[in-house]
């Protein structure tokens, strides 16, 4: 039986790695797509390549889109990454690490590759629970993108084909994601979450992403090998 | 009085040049955005830079996104550009020059720059009349993109701000576009439409784009300096 193809957005972080592992477990032939958008940390892309290989993705592509030309985010500009914020602070405003229209751009690129491959399933590891600050991680955005994708493509218009955006992690807590990742055999040592690692790639432990990851491992009752190593 | 900013997608062709001129005439401060997506003809990007300057755009950026990594189009792959097609053939199928999800990607990039600039107006020179073959040039696609954009962005979510996608050419014939361009002072010599120019950049005269341009000039009763020169 031929497997259905799926394009899986893969940053190299815990969430997108878990999402890729999930897509493969669901029986999809996975085409992993990473975007080199000028993020300050090349280590993310190296992690993505290792993870795609370890999990058995059929292909892995890195597409370069230099969003530093636009700036406007701590991840693409010379702005400081916030540290030591409480869960309350994180959930009440859109953080400076928000990259304008990032998921719209990433999903558009995934859509382009999907259409060329004849794939109608796109996986993205967005999460609206622990980190609700990003507008483009919310279910209503993703539903609007799906509606648009059908009208944007040859397959949608000529064959009425629907592109499905799968977001298996969207309603999960970080602890739930850690447990799911463990059950899917994701090698945590390969995943990278920190917004502000040191020159050797070690996590800072204090940015929003490190804090959420740490809380997730603690609540899941597991040790994070990136920290405890 | 401060002018409103607008991001204007600019390929360097007749339509997008006319659209940029129109936005400026409407009183917008124009930020022209060209995408270097691996199109086979570098001449397009050179044309775009000259046009942005000639028309008085405030800034012009060229963003590189290598869609050749995905392929799937005569414009990004080693596929032959169709020649000598009739108007009927052009209007009845999506041509091989269709680049999967291209306008979705371009508009997403424009949206990102708009959000950083604090611009809420995006101009794109799509046309659904003379060249209805592309799914992502139709009004229903553009309306769906607008709906999605509002949900995708900080400005949309926090301030209820709507991003307006302006498509002043969408219902115009090519002859109408030629006349509008003339009235706006677009220098036709700078615009470039051909899908398959020779090594010196001269139009082939036989691809869909050349045929439509030629028909437009003829019906407008004007001479195309690119051809007659």
- Which pLDDT does position A67 carry in this prediction? 83
| Cβ B133 vs Cβ B95: under 8 Å | yes
pLDDT at B75: 64
The nearest CA of chain B is from the CA of A95 a distance in Å of: 10
Residues in CB range of B221: below 8 A, 6 or more apart: none
Residue of B nearest to A97 (CA): B154
Class of domain A5-228: alpha beta
**Predicted confidence pLDDT, tens digits, chain B (229 residues):** 688 999 999 998 999 999 999 999 999 999 999 998 876 567 778 889 999 999 999 999 999 888 888 876 666 666 666 777 776 666 656 666 667 888 999 999 999 999 999 999 999 998 877 655 677 778 899 999 999 998 888 877 778 888 999 999 999 999 999 999 999 999 999 998 787 888 777 888 888 888 889 999 999 999 999 886 5
Q: Is A27 on the interface with B (CB under 8 A)?
A: no
- Taking only the tens place, the pLDDT of each residue in A12-58 is 899 999 999 999 999 999 999 999 887 656 777 888 999 999 999 99
Q: What is the model's pLDDT at position A228?
A: 63
Q: Quick check: helix, strand or coil at residue A59?
A: strand
Q: What is the pLDDT of residues A67-107, one digit of tens each?
A: 888 876 666 666 666 777 776 666 656 666 667 888 999 99
Whether A64 and B63 lie within 8 Å, measured CB to CB: no
Query: Hey, is the C-beta of A141 within 8 angstroms of any chain B C-beta?
Result: yes
φ/ψ (deg, to 5) at B137: -115, 5
B204 touches chain A (CB under 8 A): no
Average predicted confidence (pLDDT) for chain A:
86
Buried b (16+ CB within 10 A) or exposed e, B169-203: bbebbbbbbbbbbeebebebebbbbbbbbeeeeeb
Contact yes or no for B195/B95 (Cβ under 8 A):
no
Cα distances from B192 to residues B15, B50, B55, B98, in angstroms, run 10, 11, 15, 18
Token code pair at residue A50: 């290792």
Query: Is B147 within 8 Å of A151 when comparing Cβ atoms?
Result: no
Q: A35: closest CA among A96, A110, A125?
A: A110
Phi, psi at residue A193, to the nearest 5°? -120, -25
Q: Which residue in B74, B103, B84, B83 sits closest to B11, CA to CA?
A: B103
Could you tell me how many CB contacts below 8 A there are between chain A and chain B?
141
pTM: 0.88
**Nearest-angstrom CA–CA distance, B2 and B191:** 30
For residues B201, B75, A106, B155, the Cα torsion angle rounded to the nearest 10 degrees is 50
**A175 touches B: beta carbon within 8 Å:** no
- Contact criterion met (CB < 8 Å) for B104 and A70: no
* CA atoms lying within 13 Å on the CB side of residue A92: 5
Residue B65 DSSP symbol: B
Instruction: Report yes or no: A100 at the B interface, CB cutoff 8 Å.
Output: yes
> What percent of chain B has a predicted confidence (pLDDT) above 90?
49
A78 contact partners, CB below 8 Å, separation of at least 6: none
Contact A224, A213 (CB under 8 A): yes
Domain boundaries, chain A: 5-228
Establish if A188 touches chain B: CB-CB under 8 angstroms. Answer: no
Residue A76: per-residue pLDDT: 65
Interchain contact, B144 vs A141, CB within 8 Å? no
Q: Does A97 touch chain B (CB under 8 A)?
A: no
pLDDT in tens, B183-206: 999 999 999 878 788 877 788 888
3-state secondary structure of A207: strand
Q: What is the pLDDT of residues B34-60, one digit of tens each?
A: 998 876 567 778 889 999 999 999 999
Residue A9, helix vs strand vs coil: strand
Please judge whether B72 and A116 are an interchain contact, meaning their C-beta atoms are less than 8 angstroms apart: yes
Q: How far apart are CA A21 and CA A172, in angstroms?
A: 16
> Best interface-test mutation with B: which of A33, A35, A154 has the largest number of B CBs within 10 A?
A154
Average pLDDT score, chain B: 86
């Amino acid at each position: 039986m031929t497997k259905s193809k799926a394009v899986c957005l893969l940053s190299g972080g815990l969430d997108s790695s878990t999402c890729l592992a999930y897509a493969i477990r669901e029986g999809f032939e996975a085409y992993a797509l990473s975007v080199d958008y000028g993020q300050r940390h090349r280590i993310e892309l190296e992690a993505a390549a290792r993870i795609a290989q370890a999990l058995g993705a059929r292909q892995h592509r890195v597409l370069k889109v230099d969003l530093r030309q636009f700036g406007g985010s701590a991840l693409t500009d010379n702005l400081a990454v916030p540290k030591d914020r409480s869960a309350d602070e994180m959930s009440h405003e859109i953080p400076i690490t928000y990259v304008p229209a990032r998921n719209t751009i990433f999903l558009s690129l995934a859509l382009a590759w999907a259409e060329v491959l004849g794939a109608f399933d796109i996986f993205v590891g967005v999460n609206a629970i622990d980190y609700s600050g990003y507008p483009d991680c919310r279910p209503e955005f993703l539903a609007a993108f799906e509606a648009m994708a059908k009208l944007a493509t040859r397959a949608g218009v000529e064959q009425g084909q629907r592109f499905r955006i799968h977001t298996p992690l969207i309603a999960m807590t970080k602890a739930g994601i850690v447990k799911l990742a463990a059950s899917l055999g994701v090698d945590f040592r390969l995943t990278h979450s920190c917004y502000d690692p040191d020159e050797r790639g070690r996590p800072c432990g204090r940015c929003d992403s490190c804090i959420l990851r740490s809380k997730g491992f603690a609540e899941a009752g597991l040790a994070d090998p990136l920290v405890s190593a």
